[in-house]
Homo-oligomer: A and B are copies of this chain.
Amino acid sequence: MVNVVAEISIVPLGTGSPGVGRYVAACVGVLARRGIKHEVTPMGTVVEGNLDDILQAVREMHEVPFGAGAQRVVTTVHIDDRRDKQLTMEGKVRSVQERLGG
């Protein structure tokens, strides 16, 4: 099983309004329903888990804005996969914070 940390960003274009919060919330709802560990950040949603599960969730999330009326969707997935040690969301942030605090 391949465990990764990834960031997902899904943006509808041409909706007529610069606000996209309701689309983003509906996409994050997919992660909650699928039981994928996630954290909403100001620029995307960070997830941690099995890569195949995450890619399936991305596929479902990508359809959400179309279902809500969007005609164009730009989705970005950024995957960080390290196999010599286990990456976690907390561990990645802590690794930076500890060095900053030193």
- Quick one: which of B7, B13, B17, B99 contacts A25, CB cutoff 8 A? B99
CB distance from A81 to the nearest CB of B (A): 5
Alpha-carbon separation in the docked complex, A32 to B101 (Å): 12
Q: Which residues A14-48 have CB closer than 8 A to chain B?
A: 14-22, 24-26, 28-29, 32, 39-44, 46, 48
Q: Beyond A7-B41, A75-B78: 19 further Cβ-contacts under 8 Å?
A: A11-B11, A13-B18, A13-B20, A14-B15, A18-B70, A18-B84, A21-B95, A24-B95, A25-B100, A28-B96, A40-B93, A40-B96, A40-B97, A41-B41, A55-B58, A71-B82, A72-B80, A72-B83, A74-B80
